[in-house]
């Protein structure tokens, strides 16, 4: 049950844009009342996903032999939270006219979430169910994320040569990633959270005693 909860929580960062649009559609006043900026919302979703990844690691160690494959996602989420706070405390917006190092790091680590999510699905492969469908979807999403990251960094580099990088230079790539690629992975996490079943096998740590 806890792994189900962990998987659902881990989907938060991937579903952030859809969640933000849904909240804005249902009750926009809630966002204005809470005074949440876009980077604040990203950080909130990042924290939720990070806590979910920690819970997943704690529980997966008991039942999944390859639980360690989920470590990169947890680390990247932790770094993303730190960098998000950097952007927040700098007083700038992620979608501002000027993109600095912190904003670039946010986009970088968000892009890395896709391939690292594929490792999470790989850690659950055949324990007890096949993860071929999830691996296929997350692998395609990972390739797209790396391609979009390349275009994003190229766009920023080109904009820098003309005076200074702005979000306008990469908005198309990031919008496609946030609106299409990330939610697809988020849906995979949610579906897996619903369908996950414990194999019933509990792994015991190997204790090596002195002879």
In a domain, 10, yes or no: yes
Q: What is the domain count for the chain? A: 1
In a domain, 138, yes or no: yes
Q: What is the mean pLDDT of the chain?
A: 82
CA–CA gap between residue 140 and residue 72 (Å, rounded): 19
In a domain, 207, yes or no: no
With 90 as the cut, is the pLDDT of residue 118 above it?
yes
Residues 148-162 have a mean pLDDT of 78
Residue 177 near residue 111 (C-beta atoms within 8 A): yes
- 143 versus 98: the higher-pLDDT residue is 143
- Write out the two tokens for 3: 């792994």
Range of the domain at 12: 2-195
Nearest Cα neighbor of 119 from 179, 151, 77, 162 is: 77
In a domain, 184, yes or no: yes
In a domain, 202, yes or no: no
In a domain, 211, yes or no: no
With 80 as the cut, is the pLDDT of residue 142 above it?
yes
HEC letters along 132-182: HHHHHHHHHHHHHHHHHHHHHHHHHHHHHHCCCCCHHHCHHHHHHHHHHHH
In a domain, 90, yes or no: yes
Kindly indicate the confidence band of residue 140, based on its pLDDT and cuts at 50, 70 and 90: very high
With 80 as the cut, is the pLDDT of residue 119 above it?
yes
In a domain, 208, yes or no: no
CA–CA gap between residue 16 and residue 191 (Å, rounded): 17
């Amino acid at each position: 049950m806890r792994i189900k909860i962990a998987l659902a929580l881990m989907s938060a960062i991937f579903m952030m844009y859809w969640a933000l649009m849904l909240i804005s559609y249902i009750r926009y006043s809630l966002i204005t009342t809470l005074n949440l900026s876009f980077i604040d919302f990203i950080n909130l979703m990042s924290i939720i996903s990070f806590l979910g990844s920690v819970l997943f690691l704690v529980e997966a160690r008991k039942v999944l032999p390859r639980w360690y494959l989920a470590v990169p996602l947890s680390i990247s989420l932790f770094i993303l939270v730190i960098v998000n706070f950097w952007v927040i405390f700098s007083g700038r917006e992620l979608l501002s006219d000027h993109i600095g190092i912190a904003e670039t790091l946010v986009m970088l680590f968000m892009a890395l979430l896709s391939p690292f999510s594929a490792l999470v699905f790989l850690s659950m492969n055949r324990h007890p169910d096949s993860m071929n469908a999830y691996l296929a979807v997350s692998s395609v999403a990972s390739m797209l994320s790396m391609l979009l990251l390349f275009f994003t960094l190229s766009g920023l580099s080109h904009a820098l040569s003309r005076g200074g990088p702005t979000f306008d230079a990469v908005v198309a790539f990031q919008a496609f990633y946030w609106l299409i690629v990330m939610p697809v992975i988020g849906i995979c996490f949610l579906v897996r959270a619903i369908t996950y079943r414990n194999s019933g096998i509990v792994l015991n740590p190997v204790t090596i005693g002195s002879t």
